[in-house]
Amino acid sequence: MDVLVVGAGAIGGYYGGRLAQAGARVSVVARSDYSVVVREGIRIESPAGDFHFRPDRVLHKAEDLGRYPDVILVGLKVLKHIRPAELLRAAVGPKTALLFIQNGVDVERPVAEAFPDNEILSGLAFICVHRTAPGCVLHQDYGRLVLGRYPEGTSSRAEKLAEMFRRAGVPCEVTPNVVTARWHKLVWNAPFNPMSVLCGGANTSEMLGHDETARLVRAVMEEVCAVASAAGHALPDDVVERMITDTRKMTPYKTSMLLDYEAGRPMEVEAILGNAVRIARRLGVHVPRMETLYALMCGLSQKS
Q: Are residues 238 and 275 in the same domain?
A: yes
Give pLDDT, residue 127: 92
In the predicted model, is pLDDT for residue 31 greater than 90?
no
pTM: 0.91
Distance (Å, rounded) from C-alpha 87 to C-alpha 238?
A: 40
Mind listing the pLDDT tens digit for each residue in 117-162? Answer: 999 999 999 998 999 999 999 999 889 999 999 999 999 999 999 9
Q: Are residues 26 and 161 in the same domain?
A: yes
Which residue, of 176, 207, 239, is where some domain finishes?
176
Give the mean model confidence (pLDDT) for residues 27-35.
94
Q: Given pLDDT bands bounded at 50, 70 and 90, which one contains residue 302?
A: confident
Q: Are residues 161 and 200 in the same domain?
A: no
Mind listing the pLDDT tens digit for each residue in 181-216? Answer: 999 999 999 999 999 999 999 999 999 999 999 999
Q: Domain containing 61: what range?
A: 2-176
Q: Are residues 127 and 242 in the same domain?
A: no
Q: Are residues 28 and 142 in the same domain?
A: yes
Query: Which CATH number characterizes residue 39's domain?
Result: 3.40.50.720
Distance (Å, rounded) from C-alpha 98 to C-alpha 91?
A: 11
Give the mean model confidence (pLDDT) for residues 39-56.
97
Give pLDDT, residue 39: 97
Mind listing the pLDDT tens digit for each residue in 89-106? Answer: 999 999 999 999 999 999
Q: Which of 185, 249, 254, 303 is catalytic?
A: 185
Distance (Å, rounded) from C-alpha 103 to C-alpha 107?
A: 8
Q: Are residues 162 and 254 in the same domain?
A: no
In the predicted model, is pLDDT for residue 61 greater than 80?
yes
Q: What are the residues whose beta carbons fall under 8 Å from the beta carbon of 106, sequence distance 6 or more?
A: 275, 279
Give the mean model confidence (pLDDT) for residues 244-266.
93
For helices 288-303 and 178-198, give the axis angle rounded to 10 degrees. Answer: 60
- Average pLDDT taken over every residue of the chain: 96
**Would residue 185 show up in a list of annotated catalytic residues for this protein?**
yes
Q: Which has the minimum average pLDDT: 41-55, 76-90, 280-294?
A: 76-90
Q: Are residues 150 and 20 in the same domain?
A: yes
Tell me how many domains the chain contains: 2
Q: Are residues 26 and 84 in the same domain?
A: yes
Query: Which CATH number characterizes residue 213's domain?
Result: 1.10.1040.10
Q: Are residues 227 and 287 in the same domain?
A: yes
Q: Are residues 271 and 135 in the same domain?
A: no
Query: How would DSSP label each residue in 231-283?
Result: TT----TTHHHHHHHHHHHSPP---HHHHHHHTT----HIIIIIHHHHHHHHH
Give pLDDT, residue 304: 60
In the predicted model, is pLDDT for residue 17 greater than 70?
yes
Q: Are residues 154 and 192 in the same domain?
A: no
Distance (Å, rounded) from C-alpha 283 to C-alpha 277?
A: 10
Instruction: Answer for the pair 3, 105: CB distance below 8 angstroms, yes or no.
Output: no
In the predicted model, is pLDDT for residue 232 greater than 80?
yes
Q: Are residues 167 and 19 in the same domain?
A: yes
